[in-house]
């Protein structure tokens, strides 16, 4: 592990030659971090910068005033001051000379979920093994965790869960004294960076750990178990953020197994956390994962809303329901979940996935920032976009992490931009993809108006294009799920078609898609009326997700006059051409890039090109074989 490598340093790239931190002489942690960073970025301490707590500022807010020789950083609390310190470092790295920065987070909780298993593996991890776990021990590499904490804090992330929501025995023990011995040390590492820990707990912990015969939340002994567990944990880690639970989902136990609604299960754990100030994050990813494909009435996207909306108001005030952005599962194109903002008397968080499970698995370049901006843009009703809810009705933004113990943290160097963008857009959902991508690119590769090399603008363009290029060669028009079962990389158009996961497109010789309007499964009725009508009406339904809501024949005419099948062929050829364009751009930058970074990304782009061609040919062939309609332009479709 070369800690001075381009990949490891991520967006803390030095402008000159790398120097080792001399360190440890400043009183405030924020100032210490600033000077450490300054030495690493510029080779020396920075003179003339002052750091001060100013309680008139919002707690996590900060201001930076002055100029490059005499700057003043003030923070509403130590975290705010730390955020200011990093922001000043980044501003200096970008060559800014005078500062009038006033900033504060729009969203109080900016959370990263790690799907890390006790054996060191990472579910949906594409960046090596866990940074936290090895052989059942958490925190085996504390020095690296400290560098990781710095990365996360520098973009404003302030809570992390350290173990997979699919909790197994090795990580269930985090509720025991033995497990807490390790976790306490991890908390100590993250604490000065303003980052609180969360623990994913298993709903059956009362049985697994407490020796009880049931986990029924109505059983007083179960409540006792949770009370004792919470007390035990908070004694050791008083500032723990709380617990995270995946219940009644994909073979996990939950209140439903005991005949209760979700609130009954959540509240018993929430009440145990309450005296300690802890929050319970309760995931809403609940659906029937043993559906019969012959059943055309059940419609998986309806499940979360049907489960939770009727019990709005029944959750304790320290429960936050964690809702995935879309009703399917982190797909490349979905409408937003109708549950977001719908529960007026229940706290909610919005869950993203930085890990590229369905979006190229960090082999393919993919900018989540662009998709997140689109998600924020989606309407909640006639007057408000989803963005307008964030920081208000939706008080937390959560994401599944894309990090692991690869030298460059994220598998693909370009995927670092997604980790960066998540922190920035969770802090301020009004930031555009372009803005945060430019920030990341200029910090990572240097800024053109200083070094005049055009790298930052070229890389920014690649990233901003990457989401739509990927979508072009993927499943078309919001149809989703045309991937190999389980591993989710590569095209398998019928892969889920006859399986039990509730994800069907029902393509036949003439048409494809599921009618989810009120004439069909009725899914659209879960939206606010304005949005419902928008999606129900073919004239107003956003074309890029038209097959999410409608079943349409292959010769359906899209708005530009093309048939749907021709659009499918066209976009799939264009997707491959887009990747070829990325390769040309990247090769044109070769002389201006560090060898390590050039070679690494070049290799990934080759993998992406293979993947894009595979998608193009399989999808085109699949639709040709079904429809018997050829490409108007006579391009090659494998028959």
Catalytic residue set: 250, 329, 357
CB of 352 to a copy of itself, least distance (A): 30
Output the smallest distance, CB 146 to a copy of itself, in A.
Answer: 36
Residue 563 lies near a copy of itself (rule: CB under 8 A): no
Q: How far is the CB of 455 from a copy of itself (least distance, A)?
A: 36
Nearer to a copy of itself, 205 or 474 (CB): 474
Nearest residue (CB) to a copy of itself, 242 versus 493: 493
Site stretch for a copy of itself (CB under 8 A), options 214-222, 485-493, 542-550, 601-609: 485-493
Which positions ≥6 away from 486 have C-beta within 8 Å?
none
Beta carbon of residue 296, minimum distance to a copy of itself (angstroms, whole number): 8
- Minimum distance, C-beta of residue 610 to a copy of itself, in the bound complex (Å): 10
**Do 228 and 268 contact (CB within 8 A), yes or no?**
no
Query: In whole angstroms, how close is the CB of 602 to a copy of itself at the nearest point?
Result: 23
Q: Are 518 and 524 in contact (CB under 8 A)?
A: yes
Taking CB under 8 A as the criterion, the residue among 238, 485, 537, 606 binding a copy of itself is 485
List the x/- string, 444-483, binding to a copy of itself by CB under 8 A.
Answer: ----------------------------------------
Instruction: Give kind and range of the element (H or E) at residue 282.
Output: strand 279-283
> Which residues ranging from 577 to 616 are in contact with a copy of itself (CB under 8 A)?
614
Q: Is 531 in contact with 538 (CB distance < 8 Å)?
A: no
Closer by beta carbon to a copy of itself, 17 or else 628 = 628
* Residues 618-637 within binding reach of a copy of itself (CB under 8 A): 618, 621-622, 624-628
Residue with tokens 């339904």: 541
Among 235, 510, 557, 590, binds a copy of itself (CB under 8 A): 510
Give the separation between CA 109 and CA 116, rounded to whole angstroms.
21
As measured in angstroms, the least distance from the Cβ of 512 to a copy of itself is 10
Q: Which of 213, 509, 557, 584 binds a copy of itself (CB under 8 A)?
A: 509
Closest to a copy of itself by CB, 569 or 622: 622
Placement of tokens 């976790």 in the chain: 183
Nearer to a copy of itself among residue 381 and residue 621 (C-beta): 621
Residue written as tokens 């033995």?
178
Q: How far apart are CA 556 and CA 378, in angstroms?
A: 25
Q: Are strands 137-138 and 133-134 parallel, antiparallel or unpaired?
A: antiparallel
When binding is defined by CB under 8 A, the residue of 404, 495, 513, 578 that contacts a copy of itself is 495
Q: Partners of 197 in the beta sheet?
A: 160
- Residues facing residue 116 across a β-bridge: 122
Q: Which two tokens stand for residue 180?
A: 């807490």
Tokens coding 202: 């298993």
Distance between CA atoms of residues 237 and 243, nearest Å: 12
* Unique residue bearing structure tokens 């078609």: 497
Chosen residue from 8, 42, 258, 293 binding a copy of itself by CB under 8 A: 293
In angstroms, the CA 54 to CA 52 distance is: 6
> In angstroms, rounded to a whole number, what is the distance separating the alpha carbons of residues 212 and 225?
9
Q: Which of 259, 234, 298 minimizes the C-alpha distance to 502?
A: 298
Number of shown-chain residues binding a copy of itself (CB under 8 A): 28
- Quick check: 401 and 355 in contact, CB under 8 A? yes
290 binds a copy of itself (CB under 8 A): no
Q: Are 230 and 272 in contact (CB under 8 A)?
A: yes
Q: Which residues bind a copy of itself (CB under 8 A)?
A: 293-294, 484-485, 491-495, 498-499, 506-510, 614, 617-618, 621-622, 624-628, 638-639
């Amino acid at each position: 592990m070369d800690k001075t490598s381009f990949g490891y340093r991520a967006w803390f790239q030095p402008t000159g030659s790398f120097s080792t931190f001399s360190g440890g002489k400043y009183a405030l942690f924020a100032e210490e971090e600033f000077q450490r960073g300054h030495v690493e970025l510029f080779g020396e301490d920075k003179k003339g910068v002052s750091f001060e707590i100013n309680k008139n500022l919002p707690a996590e807010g900060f201001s930076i005033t002055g100029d490059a020789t005499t700057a003043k950083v003030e923070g509403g609390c130590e975290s705010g001051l730390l955020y200011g310190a990093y922001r000043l470092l980044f501003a200096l790295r970008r060559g800014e000379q005078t500062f009038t920065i006033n900033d504060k987070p729009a969203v109080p909780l900016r959370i990263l979920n790690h799907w890390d298993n006790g054996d060191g593996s990472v579910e949906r991890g594409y960046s090596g093994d866990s940074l936290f776990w090895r052989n059942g021990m958490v925190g085996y590499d504390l020095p690296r965790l400290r560098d990781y904490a710095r990365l996360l804090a520098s973009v404003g992330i302030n809570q992390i869960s350290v173990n997979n929501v699919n909790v197994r025995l090795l990580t269930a023990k985090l509720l025991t004294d033995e497990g807490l011995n390790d976790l306490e040390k991890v908390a100590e590492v993250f604490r000065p960076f303003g980052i609180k820990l969360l623990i994913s707990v298993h709903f059956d912990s009362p049985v697994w750990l407490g020796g009880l015969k049931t986990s029924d939340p109505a059983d007083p002994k179960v409540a006792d178990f949770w009370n004792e567990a919470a007390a035990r944990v908070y004694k050791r880690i008083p500032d723990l953020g709380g617990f995270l639970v995946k219940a009644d989902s994909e073979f996990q136990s939950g209140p439903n197994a005991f005949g209760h609604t979700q609130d009954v299960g959540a509240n018993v754990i929430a009440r145990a956390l309450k005296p300690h100030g802890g929050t319970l994050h309760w995931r809403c990813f609940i659906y029937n994962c043993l559906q019969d494909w012959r059943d055309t009435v059940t419609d998986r996207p309806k499940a979360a809303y049907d489960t939770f909306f009727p019990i709005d108001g029944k959750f304790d005030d320290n429960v936050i329901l964690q809702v995935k952005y879309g009703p399917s599962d982190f797909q490349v194109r979905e409408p937003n979940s109708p549950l977001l903002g719908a529960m007026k008397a229940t706290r909610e968080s919005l869950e993203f996935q930085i890990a590229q499970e369905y979006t190229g698995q960090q082999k393919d370049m993919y900018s989540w920032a662009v998709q997140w901006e689109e998600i924020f843009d989606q309407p909640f009703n006639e007057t408000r976009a989803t963005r307008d809810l964030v920081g208000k009705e939706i008080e937390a933004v959560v994401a599944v992490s894309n990090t692991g113990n690869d030298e460059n943290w994220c598998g693909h160097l370009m995927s670092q931009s997604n980790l960066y963008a998540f922190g920035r857009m969770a802090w301020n959902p009004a930031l555009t993809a372009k803005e945060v991508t430019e920030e990341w690119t200029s910090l990572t590769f240097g800024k053109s108006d200083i070094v005049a090399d055009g790298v930052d603008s070229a890389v920014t363009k690649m990233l901003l294009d990457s989401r739509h290029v990927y979508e072009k060669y993927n499943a078309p028009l919001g149809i989703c799920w045309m991937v190999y079962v389980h591993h989710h990389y590569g095209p398998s158009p019928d892969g889920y078609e006859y399986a039990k996961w509730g994800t069907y497109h029902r393509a036949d010789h003439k048409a494809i898609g599921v009618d989810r309007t009120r004439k069909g499964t009725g899914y659209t009725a879960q939206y606010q009326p304005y949005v419902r009508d928008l999606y129900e009406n073919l004239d107003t339904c956003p074309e890029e997700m038209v097959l999410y809501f409608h079943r349409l024949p292959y010769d359906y005419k899209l708005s530009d006059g093309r048939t749907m099948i021709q659009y499918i062929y066209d976009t799939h050829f264009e997707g491959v051409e887009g990747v070829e364009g990325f390769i040309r751009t990247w090769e044109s930058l070769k002389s201006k890039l560090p060898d390590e970074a050039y070679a690494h990304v070049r290799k990934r782009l080759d993998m992406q090109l293979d993947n894009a061609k595979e998608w193009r040919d399989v999808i085109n062939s699949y639709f040709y074989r079904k429809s018997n309609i050829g490409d108007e332009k006579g391009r090659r479709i494998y028959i």
